[in-house]
Amino acid sequence: MRSSKRLSIVLVSVVILLNSPAGLCGCYKRIFSFGDSIIDTGNFAHVTGNGPSAIKELPYGMTYFNHPTGRISDGRVIVDFYAQALQLPLIPPNLPEQDSGLFPTGANFAVFGSTALPSSYYRRWNHSVSTPSHLGEQIDWFKGMLQRIAPGDGDKRQLLGESIIVLGEIGGNDYNFWFGARRPREQAYQFIPDIVALIGSFAQDLIGLGAKTIVIPNNFPIGCVPSYLSGFQSDNPADYDEHRCLRWYNDFSSRHNQALLDEVHRLMARNPGVKLIYADYYGAAMELVMNPGRFGIGDPLVACCGGGGRYHTDKGCDKTARVWGIPGSFASWDGMHMTEKAYDVIAQGVLNGPFADPPLLRSC
């Protein structure tokens, strides 16, 4: 009987340890993140200076913070949930302290409207892209910060070895700007190899600097995004899938994601000592579409903040827009970006599975 009790105690202890948040055992001391509006925590708001911007005013930030923070949502974004799960403070945007910040727990380099490829790439397509940043520029900011706070090669490798890199989501705006300009949609297939190769190249660059753990998220199912559903409405029922999403655009996102997964597998083969975590944002977001009631979501295809119309998208989200209900009962915040509730669901799918392999909290 006594041995049985001891065995039970040991088993319970093991289960507790296995299920403890990684931050409790000091697994990661910092998060460095790159991307666009999906995880921007204030860089774009800083770029605008004293200029007006809807994201600087309520209802942005109405949930959790109770005031606007520069996040393009009603509250927290995905990287915030990663930080909290790893027992770290919310990761600050880099630009406000670009030349002086020590960033002891990491920094966020993501900027609203950013692309993977620079605008010069699209000139060959006679396509004008106005973007406040691109992935290469964000990586350059990161390298400048790294040189300032860890000047020696050994210092860099130690710092990065204790950190986790979140490389994206990035690339979504490359496609958004093309589709939004009503350019031939099939031509966008030609961008996928270059965008994916660029992401892979920068991942390898970061590994060369000493990164040991990198999360590489895929793209969202854009065919289920209210702004797409509104902007590309069709009278042909065959253009929609069983979830009322636009079939072609989700297939396009899947094509990008498969190419990205292939690239991650190549990086894994080349770097066996590095943890490369493919985060399936597409799959996690589709859970909200397929099983909205499970998460307390009403119609997952309509925006919480906006105007009227089928998808609440005939007006943008700003201080004069209508908030159609409690944001926690919506998946989409403003027609393009998601609510805190949706970002929480997606983050949990990456942190605990099944939408990452390995789940982030099991990556130590």
Domain assignment of residue 132, yes or no: yes
Q: What is the pLDDT of residues 124-182, one digit of tens each?
A: 999 999 899 999 999 999 999 999 999 999 999 999 999 999 999 999 999 999 999 99
Q: Mean pLDDT throughout 52-77?
A: 98
14 pLDDT exceeds 90? no
Q: Does residue 114 have an active-site annotation? A: no
Q: Does residue 37 have an active-site annotation? A: yes
109 pLDDT exceeds 80? yes
Percentage of the chain exceeding pLDDT 70: 93
Could you say which of 134, 256, 312, 337 is catalytic?
337
12 pLDDT exceeds 70? no
The pLDDT assigned to 27 comes to: 85
Nearest residue to 220 via CA among 96, 121, 321, 345: 345
Domain assignment of residue 356, yes or no: yes
Q: What is the pLDDT of residues 321-355, one digit of tens each?
A: 999 999 999 999 999 999 999 999 999 999 999 99
The pLDDT assigned to 327 comes to: 98
The pLDDT assigned to 26 comes to: 54
The pLDDT assigned to 48 comes to: 95
- 320's tokens: 């004069």
Domain assignment of residue 14, yes or no: no
Give me the chain's average pLDDT, please: 93
Q: What is the CATH number of the domain that holds 101?
A: 3.40.50.1110
The pLDDT assigned to 20 comes to: 40
Domain assignment of residue 1, yes or no: no
Could you say which of 36, 40, 334, 344 is catalytic?
334
Yes or no: say if 277 and 363 are a contact pair by the CB < 8 Å rule. yes
Domain assignment of residue 115, yes or no: yes
Q: Does residue 265 have an active-site annotation? A: no
What is the residue range of 40's domain? Answer: 25-298+340-362
Domain assignment of residue 265, yes or no: yes
Nearest residue to 288 via CA among 338, 327, 241: 338
Domain assignment of residue 257, yes or no: yes
Q: Mean pLDDT throughout 205-214?
A: 98
Q: Mean pLDDT throughout 97-110?
A: 97
Has this prediction a pTM greater than 0.75? Answer: yes
Q: Which residues of 14-48 are buried (b: 16+ CB within 10 A; e: fewer)?
A: eeeeeeeebbeeebbbbbbbbbbbbbbbbbbbbbe
Domain assignment of residue 321, yes or no: no
The pLDDT assigned to 17 comes to: 37
Number of domains in the chain: 1
1 pLDDT exceeds 80? no
Could you say which of 33, 37, 73, 114 is catalytic?
37
- Gyration radius (Cα) of the chain, Å: 21
